[in-house]
Structures are given as structure tokens and as C-alpha cells.
A and B are shown apart, each in its own frame.
Chain A
Amino acid sequence: MGDPKIACRNLWKLYGPDPVGFLKRHDGRPSIEAIRAQGYISAVRDVSFDVMPGEILVVMGLSGSGKSTLLRCLSRLVQPTAGEVMFEGRDMLTASDSELIELRRHKMGMVFQNFALLPHRTVLENVAFPLQVRGTARQERESRARDVIELVGLKGREGYYPRELSGGQQQRVGIARSLAVGPDLWFLDEPFSALDPLIRKEMQDEFLRLQKVLNKTIVFITHDFDEAIRVADRIAIMKDGAIEQLGTAEQLVTRPATPYVAKFTENIPRDRLLSVRSVMASTSPRKPAKDAIRADALLASIARQIVTTERPIDVVDDEGILVGTLDRGTYIDALYDQEPAR
């Protein structure tokens, strides 16, 4: 897959009287007990991961878990205490102010939870703002802004002011603004949390539609596990500033690394998350039956077939080659979280 777009290694962000010194005294790896005992607050604790080009990494955690601070460390809105953040192989933490400004003007976009629109600018001016800042001529930036506004479905609202728009529309402006410079790396900080549930769902679809077209590298923050499952390629679950587990939704549900992750995933409807591949039993190679199912089908989509078929159903991959079988018992166990009889 090549090199990661953005990566972080052993990233720390501590708040307190002397975070750097404190970290040094504990050889760079203080325990959470030591941090708490000395009155420090750990927002980000020894976090490492890679995000590949075109991948959506969702960072999921409850409020106070440090997910927003982690995002701000990646975008360097917050200066981390220790560790490194590599963007396209370049260390972000040693970048000078002017280098950072250049990076943000060309390579990064960010969407904020409360939209953070400039109240005195129209939709068009808000979207054109990052282009204006980097010195793009008026004509060019406005035509570019109009394109992006059309892309997010706000055509006709260019002259409106933020307060004249609904929450969902405002966030569309926020999204358009973050896309105006054509960034490679797209940060979204709980972009839909301030919206009503129905609008939120609509905006998630919109986001997925956009991503299909744009294929950006994305770090997406949310506190909503359902949202994480809907949009993520991989999910990182954070607690007390550290990542509890990082993996695909399926991995988190089927093989939770810690009780905390298990607790999170226990109420997730599995039939819409698990694929046949993740629960099927292996089998010896032979010619598959006519009613074989695909390995990447979701369990929900084969429910009727499972109910009406007595014998184990054959599972095939994309090329139609037999890769396993699935019987009724395993299917039920997988849905209702029974350990399969191994």
C-alpha cells in the first residue's frame, strides 16, 4: 500500500506544571496512576498509528477521552508534549510557523464540531476564505468556491450569512470550506455531533458520497460508535488518552482487546456489521454449490437463505472459488455473541 499519509509515534500530550520534565523523569512512559498522582492531566498518552492514503481512520471515544486533543496534535493546533507526527514523511513537530502555514494552505482541511463559520461572511466568502488567505485572486477563488458549494449541495445559497442557515446547511458550508483548497488530508472533529439524528444520518451519507468522489485521507473524530461503524475503514477506540484498540469494526466486535472495547461493542447489531467471511468455517476445496453466498456479504443479507436452508451453505470469494461454509448454528451464535463451539 505504500507509505502512510500521516503517522504518529509515541505521541504524548500532558497538561500540568512541567509536562516535559515530568515525562523525562519517568523515562517517557509514566503510568496513568503516576500521572494522576502528581496532578497532571493526560490528554494523549503514547499514541501511535499510521493512516494510509485514501483511508478513513475514525477515532472514537467518550468526552474527555482525549480524541479532540489527539486530532489537534496531528494538525498541530496543539503542540504535543512528546512524540512525532509524520506527514508525508516530514516531521510536523519541527516544522516552522511559516512551513505550517504553507502546509495548512495547501494540504490540510478541517471541519469543526460547531461549524466555526465566520459570522460576518457570506457562504461564498466563508468557503473562499482559505483561498483568500493564501492569496488566490478574487475571480479564481470565487469560481473555485462556487464549485465546492455546488459539490456539497448548497448552490443558490452563496449570498446567505451563516445565521440564516440551518445547522446541517452550516456544516455543509464548513465542509465546503475545508475542501476549498483541495487538501490531501482531511480532519473532521465530531462534524455531525451538533446535528439532529435525522440530519446527522443524511450528512453521513453525504460525507460518504463526497469521499467516494474525492478519496481523501481522513481522520474523523466521533463519540458515536454507530457513526464510526458507518464511515470508518478502521476505528481507534480511545480511553483516558490512550488507544485501547485499533482495527476494523468487525475486529473490534468479534475480537475486543479489552473489556472496555467489549462493553462498547456489545450492543452493536452484528447482522449489519459482520461479513460471512468473519464467521464461516473453513472447508476443503471442491466445486461450490449453486446457492453459494459471497464471503463479503453481511449476515443480515443472507438471513432468509439461512432460515430456509437445512445444510451448511457454501461461501465463495469474488472469483467464485469456495472458501468456506456457514451453518445455521454458527450464524445464530455469531449474531447473539455466543462463543462459537470451537
Chain B
Amino acid sequence: MERPTKVGAPGALARAAKPALTVLPFLILFLCASLLPDWMMKVPQAWTVPFIDWTNAVIDHLREDALFGLFSFRDFTRWIAELITWPLALVEGLLVSGFPDFGIPAMPWVMTAGLCGVLGWALRDWRLGTLAAGCVAYMAIFGKWELSMITLSVVLVAAPIAGSIGFLLGIMAVKKPWFEAVIVPLLNVLQSLPHFSYLIPIAVFIGVGHKAGTIATIIFAIPPMARLTILGLKGIAEEIREAGKMAGCTRFQMLWMVEIPAARQALLVGVNQVIMQCLAMVVIASFVGARGLGHDLLFRLQSLKIGQALESGVAIVLMAIVLDQLSRAAAEKQPSHLADNVSWLARFPFLSAAIAVCGVSLLLSAITPYASVWPDELTLSTAPLWDGLVDWITLYFFDPLQYFRDAMLLYVLIPVRGLFQQIPWTAMVALVAVAGWSLGGVRLALVVSGFVLFIAFAGFWERSLITAYMVAVAVMLCVLIGLPVGIWASKTDRRAKMAKLWCDTFQTFPSFIYLIPVIMLFKVGDVAAISAIIIYAMIPIIRYTVFGLRNVPQDIVEAGITSGCTERQLLWNIRLPLAFPEIMLGINQTIMFALFMVIIAAFIGTKDIGQEIFRALTFNDAGKGLVLGLCVAFMGLTADKLITAWSAERKSRLGLA
């Protein structure tokens, strides 16, 4: 039932008054900052709540004392870590290391490439097959075979496990309302926790090393699957469920024969997400000792070997593209019927091709060793090329880059940071609380001000302000650049398609990759960090702008055209206002992306929460890592809650919901 919305005709003053009133308490506190007592300016040390100590107490208890019957919690975690080594060893043996104990070699690289090609062909067409086979061949020819196959085996082991756990959680949530009430807020927080916050507890309970990295990867990839399972199962048409009931399904039959197959597409999108999250995490998990491409990249970045780092980066990017395209194709594939009485070959073309590939590659590797392992002496390296590029940039662009960097620092970053640091914490709480209250009532106000109060009392207010300032600057620049680009891209079908393709592709890259070019251009520091954030966080604002503008109801646009609007009037009076709620959701995503990146950017020397988390990682301080992670998550969630509330209200007002 639709609730009648009060539609008045407020005057211009009243319309301006509401947003003005929202920021009024903030402005008063901010402008009168010099008059405020100290405790209203900075959170007094004495008020700090020892969240970290509490968390550490719990963790210590789990680590040292907690007993589940015969074994301790730590035994339990170690046991799980042991368990994971089995499938890991199996896949790794198959792909790269072979099984020396049994005298079985690994799959020849031509076989891996060929099978990936067949998979791509089966899932979409020969073009995807060529892409997949080509990228696998690239790994062999350019000397990244071993590293990339290790990374791939982590993904191949972690993704199914994470996917199944997320899937089961999602099913539970759909079937049991109380479980959903518990898990959905938890998923919200987990999905906004920075990657590093996952790593520290893993390091504490399992230690460092390859299997610890794998487990971190698994845990990190669970939330998106759970969420998409919930979404998918809830999205099934009620009629389909009724059809199942009328057929006389038991609850079990309903779930397995009706609901899960009917939600197949959403679930496969979940699988795609899981795979991509696994890849992103396994790169970052190199900080706790996961081997593979990520480790290589980290090592080379640390020693500032940009050319070699880029080479690894390209390998990661290629792997991301192939994994994304393959899993996406699987999600998009629709079943179709077969003609009767066709030959076995035509009935199972892909199976036949796969068997043929296996046969041919075994034959080839019997004839020439080149087919099983690409020889070192023929390995190509692109590193000199990249190094040359870096040298060339430094040679010809040193001055402009330097100038840009200094100007950014002097005229943008330092003033904005100064401004942020002058904000009294009480003003921030007031702003968020009033905004929450005006957008969603008391409940929302309590939730969001609770988030901010947590950050304030956790004892890292100054650090948080630095994070906030970097995110704010980056998001501002993202909007300034991304909005016009999005508007430009939304003009024609061709451009919109291109924009979507680029956004899709760039979004698949593990965020860590974005550090490489900025280090190349700006070395380390705030400018480099903000540039990395901007590149990464630009994706959603462009995507949502294009989507929003192109999805303005066609009849309203036509009404504008027939009213005699010029192209410009159409944009300003019809397209932009109607797309604005969607664009705001894009900005929301941009903020989330920026928060993820700002923490990773700690790697190149920022002075914000990220740096503290980084330190916590070094000292294995799980409590601190988690509390700081929560601070970051709560920043993101505050923005998220406020913006989605605003956008939903605006959409329903425009009749778009």
C-alpha cells in the first residue's frame, strides 16, 4: 500500500531553509570554535573508551584459554589451517608443481591454456576463448607462470569454499528472519572493513604464511556471496514460489528444486563477485605471506623496481579480466534446446573439444618439452620496456609533475587538511545527528551519531580526520572529473557502452594495482595516495552517472523534447534532476571505494588511520587493527546510511522508486 506523501508547495525560502537548518548547528560550532571549551574541540584523553583493550582481552582469551571440549580455540583455527593445505596442495600440484611423490608432472601449460580457451568458448564464444587462452599463454611466455598459477590455485580453492559458506549463510538468512536481522548489519560492517583488518586476526590465530593468506582470502570473500544469495532468493517472483507450493513441494524440494535454480543468475553473479574478491584479497594477503603474483608485486614495489612491478601488475590485471569475463559469461549464459538426433560430437561439443585439447597437449609435451614447461631462455620480459617508460616520464615530465605535486600540496591538500583539523568533534557529531534526523528520523540519527561517537571515543579522532580529509578531497575531485565525463558518456549509445566496458574492466582490477602508476608518477606521499584514490574511486561515479542519465524515463524526456527543450535545457531541467538520486548513490559508492583505497594507500606513506592499521599489522595487534577497521567502516556506513536515505526519499518524491 502506498502511503500518501505530504506534498506542499513550500516557498523558495522554506526550500532553502531545510538544508541550511541541517548544517546550522555544525556551522555555529565550527565558527565559534575558538570560543569553545577544550573538551568540545578535541576528545579529551580521559574520555577514550578502551575498545582496543577489550577486543584484545577477548582475543587473548580465545587464543590462550578458550576451550571447546578437548581442544582450544587456537587448536581449532590451526586445525582449519591444516585442512586448507590439502586442496591447496592438490590444485597447486595440478597446475604448477606436479606431484613429485607419485612421479606425476603438472599439467603442461598448453593444456591449461587450451582448457581455458574451451571454457571461454563454451561459456560465451570463440572470442572469449581466445582471450582466455591468450592470457594463460602470456603467463607462460612472459615468465609469470609459476607465480600466476599459485595465485590462481588460491583463488580456485578459496572461491568455492567462500562461495559455499556465503551461500549457506544467505539461505539461512532467507529462511530464518531472526538470523537475517543479525547477519545483514554484520554483513554491512564486514563489507566496509578495510582488507587489512581481516589480515591481523588471521595473523594472530593462524600465523603468517601461504595458508593464512588463503584463509584471509576465504573470509574476505564470504560477505558478497551471502548478500547476493539473500538478494537472489528474495528476488524470485512470488508466483514461482506458489507454483512450487501448488505442485506439492516439501520445504526441502522447494529450496533445491525451485528457489535455488530460479535464483541461478543472481547466485552466479555472486560467484563472480566472490572470485573477484578472492583475487583482490590474495594480492593483499601477500602482506601476511601469501605467495604468488601479489607477493612478487609487493616485493618489487617495496624495492621501488617499478618496471618489474608493472610487469607483475599486468599479469594480475590479465588474470582479473579473464576470471571476471569467464564467471560473468557463466552468469549470463541461458539454456537453449538441442535439436533431436544429432551426433555425440554435436551434442557435447565442449566436452569433445576439452578431451581433444588434453590429448593433443599430452602428445605435444611428449614430442617437445617446450609444450609442458616454457623454457627460461625463451621467456620474454616487458620490464625493460616499462622501465624505459618510467625513465622517459621522469626525464621529460619531471618538472611539470613536480610542479603539479607541489601545487596540489600547497594550495589544496594542506589548506583542506588544516580546515578539517579545526573542526570540533562536537560539530561533526551535531552535523551527522541533525542530518540523520532530518532524513530518517530519530532512529537514523541515533545510528549515525553512534558511529561517529565510536570513532571519537576510540581515541583516533585526529587520525580519522586525516582520513576524512583525504577521502573528502578525493571524492570532490572524483565528482568534478567524473560527473562531466559521465554526462559526456551518456550522450550516445556507443559512448555509454564504452564507458560501461571501461568501468567493468577497471573495477575488476585488485585495488592494490592502482598504486603502481601513482608511485611511478609521484613517488610516495599524500599526492600519490590521493591520486590512487581518485583513479580507483572515479569508477562508480562515472558508472552511476551514465546509468542514471540513461535511465531517465523515456516518456519524460520525450515530453521535454516536444515542449521544445534545447539539448542543454533537456540536460539541466529533466535529465540531471531525475538522475540525481542515482548519481548520489554513485557518490556514495565513490566514498566507499575511496575509503578502501585510502587504507591501502597507507603503503605509500600516509599519516592517517591506514598507517595505524599498518602498524597494528606489523605488531600483530589484532584489537587495534579491528577497532581501527571499525572506525573506517563506520565512516563509510555513516555516509552510506545518510546518502541512501536521502536518495530513497528523493526517488519516491520523484515517483521513480
Contacts and interface: CB of A to CB of B under 8 A. Distances in A.
A120 B262 CA distance: 7
Nearest to B340: A159
B239 A113 contact: yes
Contacts of A103: 248
Contacts of B240: 116, 118
Contact of B237 (A101, A106, A114, A181): A114
Given A118-B262, A122-B337, A161-B334, A104 B239 contact: no
Interface residues of B, number: 24
Count chain B CB atoms within 10 A of each CB in A120, A130, A134, A159 and give the residue with the most: A120
A108 B337 contact: no
A122 B247 CA distance: 16
B343 interface: no
A105 B262 contact: no
A161 B335 CA distance: 7
Nearest to B239: A116
A118 B261 contact: yes
B336 A102 contact: no
Given A77-B245, A104-B246, A129 B257 contact: yes
A272 B338 CA distance: 47
A116 B261 contact: no
A178 B243 CA distance: 9
Contact of A112 (B239, B250, B253): B239
Contact of B247 (A115, A133, A187): A133
Contact of B257 (A119, A133, A181): A133
Interface string A156-196: 00011101100000000000011001000001000000000
A104 B245 CA distance: 8
B53 interface: no
A130 B239 contact: no
Interface in A68-105: 72, 75, 77, 101-105
Contact of B248 (A77, A122, A133, A161): A133
Contact of A119 (B245, B247, B249, B262): B262
A187 to B, nearest CB: 8
A134 B248 contact: yes
Interface string B210-225: 0000000000000000
B264 A110 contact: no
B335 A109 contact: no
A203 interface: no
Contacts of A75: 246
Interface in B318-367: 334-338, 340
Contacts of B335: 120, 161
Contacts of B340: 159
Count chain B CB atoms within 10 A of each CB in A103, A118, A159 and give the residue with the most: A118
A160 B335 CA distance: 9
A55 B234 CA distance: 37
A105 B244 CA distance: 11
Q: Closest 4 CB pairs between A and B?
A: A105-B248, A130-B247, A116-B239, A116-B243
Interface of A: 41, 72, 75, 77, 101-106, 108-110, 112-122, 129-130, 132-134, 159-161, 163-164, 177-178, 181, 187
Interface of B: 1, 237, 239-240, 242-243, 245-250, 253, 257-258, 261-262, 264, 334-338, 340
18 contacts: A75-B246, A77-B245, A101-B249, A101-B250, A104-B247, A108-B246, A113-B239, A114-B237, A114-B239, A116-B240, A117-B243, A122-B337, A129-B247, A129-B257, A130-B247, A133-B247, A177-B247, A187-B246
